[in-house]
Amino acid sequence: MLLQGKKILITGVLTPQSIAYGIAEHALAQGADIILTGFGRARSLTERSAKRLKPGIEVLELDVSKPEDFAALTASLREKWGRVDGAVHSIAFAPEDALGGNFLNTPWESVQTAFRISTFSLKELAVAVAPLMPSGGSIVTLDFDNNIAWPIYDWMGVCKAALEATVRYLARDLGPKGIRVNALAAGPLSTVAAKGIPGFKSLEQAWSRQAPLGWDVRNSHETVGRTACALLSDWLPSTTGEQVHVDGGYHSIGAPPVDPSQDDPPEAKPAPTGE
């Protein structure tokens, strides 16, 4: 099993539809011990999902907007495990006015919130777990490829682009410690978070048409979970600073397939005449 005996911290598990839930499920199947994090009123959802995954899985408090929670997380993991082999960063949030075509009108306060929770939290999590990885380890963050501008993603797109840069800088600074840091860029999946993105339905329909391998927003969690487990395992020891796509190949295609038969026939041209 890929993760036999590994100690893996997983953030972002809410419901069984969560991407992080699928990763947790596969990590357990591959022999890992896991601990989840949650906070506030949503923590009850995480605790319910933890019981569904496997009785006895602990849920630690982590509000990424509170620096003291990261210090407490490090202390708790040191006490319970003594070490951490891998961590999954599956945390993102943007206020409503930072999404849905409001890019030019979004106030700084909303951008600041989105950046702190969606991007800066990766650095904070890495700093929290790195001291517990004396023999190296793997940190994986969930991403959405933002090398281009999306119609509806707005400031979350900017935050994800910054997340990709953060991965590279963390890979630079943590590589000498044997810690790998990678982003997993998944295609759109049907989750609680996705329902809060205006226009998500249109995006998922376009994705399935363009992806060469096809894409099912409801049934692609498994492929994402498998890829995350591969990145957390020892099978990719020289891979760091990467954005690994799990999107059916959508990112490699410039436009959806076209049917030339639907084009208007070319206009008839007069035959050339000789001199």
User: pLDDT, tens digit, for every residue of 174-196?
Assistant: 999 999 999 999 888 755 555 55
CATH of domain 7-251: 3.40.50.720
pLDDT tens digits, 62-76: 999 999 999 999 999
Mean pLDDT, rounded, for 78-96: 97
Q: Which amino acid appears at position 85 of this protein?
A: D
- Evaluate whether 165 touches 120 at the Cβ level (below 8 Å): no
Angle, in degrees to the nearest 10, between helices 19-29 and 221-232 = 60
- Residue in 7, 21, 160, 250 annotated catalytic: 160
Q: Which residues are annotated as a binding site for substrate?
A: 94
169 carries an active-site annotation: no
Where do the structural domains in the chain lie, given as residue ranges? 7-251
- Residue in 6, 7, 21, 153 annotated catalytic: 153
66 carries an active-site annotation: no
* Residues contacting residue 114 through CB under 8 Å, at least 6 positions apart: 93, 94, 95, 98, 155, 156, 159
pLDDT tens digits, 198-210: 555 666 667 778 8
Residue 273 has pLDDT above 60, yes or no: no
Among 3, 140, 5, 131, which Cα is nearest to 73's?
131
Mean pLDDT, rounded, for 125-139: 98
| Encoded tokens for 116 | 């702190």
Among 9, 14, 3, 2, which Cα is nearest to 38's?
14
Residue 54 has pLDDT above 90, yes or no: yes
pLDDT of residue 198: 58
Give the up-direction half-sphere exposure of residue 49: CA atoms within 13 A in the CB hemisphere.
Answer: 27
Q: Which residues are annotated as a binding site?
A: 12, 18-19, 63-64, 91, 94, 160
